[in-house]
Copies of this chain bind each other. A is one copy, B any other.
Amino acid sequence: MAGATALIAGRGALPAHLARALAASGAPFVIAEVEGFAMDNPDGLPVMRFALERLALLFDHLHENGVTRVVMVGAVTRPRLDPERIDPRTAQLLPRIVPALAQGDDATLRAVIALFEEEGFAVVGAEAVAPDLLPPPGVLTQARPGPADERDAARAVQIVAALGAADVGQGAVVAQGLCLAVEALPGTDAMLAWVAEVAGACRPDPKGARGVVCKAPKPGQDRRVDLPAIGPATVEAAARAGLAGIVVEAGGVLLLDPAETIARADRAGLFLWVRTP
Contact = CB atoms under 8 A, between A and B. Distances in A.
Contacts of A194: 194, 198
A186 B177 CA distance: 14
Contact of A185 (B80, B179, B185): B179
Contacts of A161: 166
A190 interface: yes
B185 A163 contact: no
Contact of A184 (B77, B79, B181): B181
A215 B194 CA distance: 21
A70 interface: no
Contacts of A165: 162
Contacts of A166: 158-159, 161-163
Interface of A: 77-80, 102, 104, 158-159, 161-163, 165-166, 168-169, 172-173, 176-182, 184-186, 190, 193-194, 198-199, 202, 204-205
B168 A162 contact: yes
A186 B162 contact: no
29 contacts: A77-B204, A78-B176, A78-B178, A78-B204, A104-B177, A161-B166, A162-B163, A162-B166, A162-B168, A163-B163, A163-B166, A168-B172, A168-B182, A169-B179, A172-B184, A173-B184, A179-B184, A179-B185, A180-B185, A180-B186, A181-B184, A182-B182, A184-B199, A185-B199, A185-B202, A186-B199, A190-B198, A190-B199, A194-B198
